[in-house]
């Protein structure tokens, strides 16, 4: 069912995300966008925490080791939502997870609304 919602030939997270934004409307778009934003915040927090842990674990005596760790931390802190969506692993995972959350929360409510009418 997922290809029907994100497009059959959209294989990267950013393309899937753009397809979803183009065709979802109203509550569906709002729910999907909120899910993507929450996944981005969670992923970024984990990446920053891991980079801080690695930087703090280094004794700081070797500048050749500390400088790359600081660069990784700075990169984790400045990475944007679109950059996460462009990432080969993160992007497709974010869209798939957001879509699954959307289907499990929104679709049952829509079915119940139609039954009531």
Q: Which two tokens stand for residue 106?
A: 């929104």
* Cβ 102 vs Cβ 96: under 8 Å: no
**89 part of a folded domain:** yes
pLDDT over 70 (residue 4): no
pLDDT value of position 46? 94
Structure tokens belonging to residue 87:
């990432």
If you search the block for the tokens 């984990």, which residue do you land on?
46
State CA 101 to chain mean position distance: 12
More confidently predicted of 93 and 114: 93
Contact 84, 43 (CB under 8 A): yes
Q: What is the pLDDT of residue 5?
A: 54
pTM to 2 decimal places: 0.74
| pLDDT > 70? residue 24 | yes
- Domain assignment of residue 32, given as a range: 27-96
What's the confidence (pLDDT) of residue 49?
95
The reply to whether 22 falls in a domain is no
Q: Round to whole Å and give the CA distance between 72 and 31.
A: 32
Residue 73 lies in a domain: yes
Q: Is residue 34 part of a domain?
A: yes
Report which DSSP code applies to 9: T
Overall domain count for the chain: 1
Question: Quick one: pLDDT at residue 1?
Answer: 44
Mind listing the pLDDT tens digit for each residue in 56-96?
887 766 666 667 888 888 999 999 999 999 987 888 889 88
CB atoms near residue 88 (< 10 Å): 10
Q: What is the pLDDT of residue 9?
A: 59
Average pLDDT estimate for 2-6: 55
| Residues contacting 70, CB < 8 A, separation 6+ | 55
Q: Does residue 49 form part of some domain?
A: yes
Q: Is residue 20 part of a domain?
A: no
């Amino acid at each position: 069912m997922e290809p029907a919602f994100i497009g059959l030939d959209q294989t990267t997270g950013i393309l899937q995300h753009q397809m979803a934004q183009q065709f979802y409307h109203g509550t569906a778009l709002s729910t999907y966008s909120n899910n993507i934003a929450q996944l981005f915040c969670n992923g970024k927090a984990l990446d920053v925490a891991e980079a801080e842990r690695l930087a703090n674990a280094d004794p700081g005596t070797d500048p050749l080791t500390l400088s790359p760790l600081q660069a990784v931390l700075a990169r984790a802190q400045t990475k944007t939502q679109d950059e996460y969506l462009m990432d080969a692993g993160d992007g497709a995972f974010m869209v798939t997870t957001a879509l699954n959350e959307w289907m499990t929360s929104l679709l049952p409510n829509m079915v119940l609304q139609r039954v009531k009418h």
